[in-house]
Amino acid sequence: MGVSEDINWLKTDEAGVGKVFTLLAGKGSLKLRELKEIYGSGDWWPLKAYVSALVSRGLVAEADGIYKLTEDGRKVLDGFKAMEVVQAI
């Protein structure tokens, strides 16, 4: 997938997968338990589904129980930042 497709995909579910992506981008790297606390969900299943979707799309990677953005994920984040600058103008 390209950056623009990934951005649009994240925007379609801003309260779910988009929020998880934004939290990971803001913190740099998080364990699933830390992500759950910040996300604010009482249930694990939606969060696990969102993280799994991000991993399968190649935007997030897991190593030793820690999730962080991949290079593709950082490109998508840069795209988000560029869109914010354009919208501000």
CATH code of the domain in which 47 resides: 1.10.10.10
Range of the domain at 9: 3-84
17 contacts 10 by C-beta, under 8 angstroms: yes
The pLDDT averaged over each successive group of 10 residues in the chain (89 residues) is: 90 93 95 93 90 97 96 94 65
Tell me the C-alpha distance between 6 and 54, whole Å.
10
Tell whether 89 is covered by a domain.
no
pLDDT of residue 89: 46
Please give the model's pTM, rounded to 2 decimal places: 0.90
Specify the number of domains making up the chain.
1
Residues 6+ apart with CB under 8 A from 38: 23, 27, 30
Phi, psi of 86 (to 5 degrees): -65, -40
Structural domain contains residue 57: yes
